[in-house]
Amino acid sequence: MNILFIQPRLSEMQKSWWKRSIDRAINKFYAPPLTLEQLYAITPNDHDVKVIDERIGQKINYDGNYDLVGITAFTPYINRAYEIADAFRKMGVKVVLGGYHPTAIPDEAKQHADSVLLGEAEYTWLQLLKDVENNGLRPFYLPDRPIDQNDIPPAKRDQTRGNYFYAAVQASRGCPNRCEFCAISNLKFRNIVRKRPVENVIDEIKTISQKHFHFYDPSLTLHPTYSKSLFREMKGLNKKFTCNGNVGALNKDEELLKLASEAGCTRWYIGFESFSQQNMDLLKKQTNRVEEYAPAVKKIRDYGMDIYGLFMFGMDYDTPDVFDSTLKAVNDLGLIAANFSILTPYPGTPLHDRLDKEGRIFSKDWSKYRWDEVVIKPKGMSSEELLHGVRKIKREFYSLHNFSQMIRKEKVLELGLMDIFSTYFFSMIAYRFVK
């Protein structure tokens, strides 16, 4: 069969060409489409596969004689995914939707697709292909067991590698932590951490042509023993990488930090979320305790790595002064890159159910479910205060004045100009001028 896999763009495109160009460049650096590369890899070789990533400006050919179109989408991309799906179906082409949003709300997705594949695809996709060939496509496919990590082939990158400055790899899937807002651990089977054999991951990394890559694992601190053996084997591969991790483990385990650094880790992405322990308790994020933020950051820096801090606003204990106090606290930590988001209740999460019950979700326009729009009524401030407060902290954090202050801080300059450039300036352009 002739199969097309699509990563849609956001439904609201940036209007001016320069904003669109910067958005594309950011995706080329930070967001290689591992989902499509993985779907391509699990498709048997007797099918012809084409991979399209709209986020980097690639165009969909609606006249490509495709027998089957597979579209991936998490929530902010779903409206555009539905638009593409509707267009192909009008032409009589079969469409399958998959990914986080269709998995959370399969009945909604089914209105725009011939079939919805829920959860991980490694087992069900093969069955689905056979069913299409036999004209017996079912409306829904759901795996009956978690995917054995031995059954994950290396991603196929021959169509994508030339387009992205960074590559992406996944060593493990799942997270047991059940943070209230998280769309991973609250889905079936995704609350079980599954680790790919280290040798498989190493073999895959060796095939990557780029020097830099991201680990797309939910967190590489969930099983430190596993991560340590992975990092040990990576030493000498001459790669640079970034990954996600949690404060508690990073603060406790210096051996992990040392091995990560020796393996080529340049930056940990950490979801600090809030400087209020009450908020953290409410979010049920037990992996990070506020009192450990500063020592953890210091230790990571001591081992020559950088930190990208992720923060959210609009939690129940946030009041209008939270923006100023957070800016001060982030600067005291000495972070040079951070993202400030608005709490968003993704479908399928306990946060969504709680706020929905309390009548506090006022928009279910999924295109607004990005980090920069308000869809909830917060408790401690108005929705407008939340929106303007987040815009203000982004502006102030990424101001030249703030940058000149933070660059003087101990250890920051030791990160090297390239790291400072790639973290700080990209984020500044992204958050101050584009988003």
Q: Which residues make up the interface to ligand B12 (CB under 6 A)?
A: 7, 10, 30-31, 33-35, 38-39, 70-72, 74-76, 96, 98-101, 104, 117, 120-122, 125, 170, 182-184, 216, 218, 341, 346, 370-371
For 68, the 3-state DSSP assignment is strand
Taking the complex as a whole, the smallest distance from the CB of residue 42 to ligand B12 amounts, in Å, to: 7
Nearer to ligand B12, 174 or 304 (CB): 174
CA angle 385/387/390 to nearest 5° reads: 100
**Residue pair 261/155 in contact by the 8 Å Cβ criterion:** no
Taking the complex as a whole, the smallest distance from the CB of residue 31 to ligand B12 amounts, in Å, to: 4
Nearer to ligand B12, 184 or 420 (CB): 184
Nearer to ligand B12, 2 or 341 (CB): 341
**Residue pair 215/269 in contact by the 8 Å Cβ criterion:** no
**Residue pair 1/132 in contact by the 8 Å Cβ criterion:** yes
Nearer to ligand B12, 275 or 308 (CB): 308
Taking the complex as a whole, the smallest distance from the CB of residue 226 to ligand B12 amounts, in Å, to: 15
Nearer to ligand B12, 76 or 106 (CB): 76
Burial of 289 (0-12, 13-18, 19+ CB in 10 A): middle
- In 3D, which of 341, 342, 337, 330 has the Cα closest to residue 293? 330
Residue closest to ligand B12 (Cβ): 98
φ and ψ at residue 306, rounded to 5 degrees = -105, 170
Taking the complex as a whole, the smallest distance from the CB of residue 236 to ligand B12 amounts, in Å, to: 26
Taking the complex as a whole, the smallest distance from the CB of residue 124 to ligand B12 amounts, in Å, to: 8
Taking the complex as a whole, the smallest distance from the CB of residue 255 to ligand B12 amounts, in Å, to: 24
Nearer to ligand B12, 41 or 290 (CB): 41
Per the structure block, which two tokens stand in for 108? 């909604």
Nearer to ligand B12, 39 or 299 (CB): 39
User: Tokens 């009548």 sit at which residue?
Assistant: 359
- In 3D, which of 99, 137, 94 has the Cα closest to residue 112? 94
Nearer to ligand B12, 193 or 322 (CB): 193
Taking the complex as a whole, the smallest distance from the CB of residue 366 to ligand B12 amounts, in Å, to: 8
Distance CA 6, CA 66 (A): 12
Sequence length of the chain is 435
- In 3D, which of 306, 308, 377, 297 has the Cα closest to residue 339? 308
CA angle 424/429/431 to nearest 5° reads: 90
Taking the complex as a whole, the smallest distance from the CB of residue 213 to ligand B12 amounts, in Å, to: 12
Distance CA 313, CA 338 (A): 13
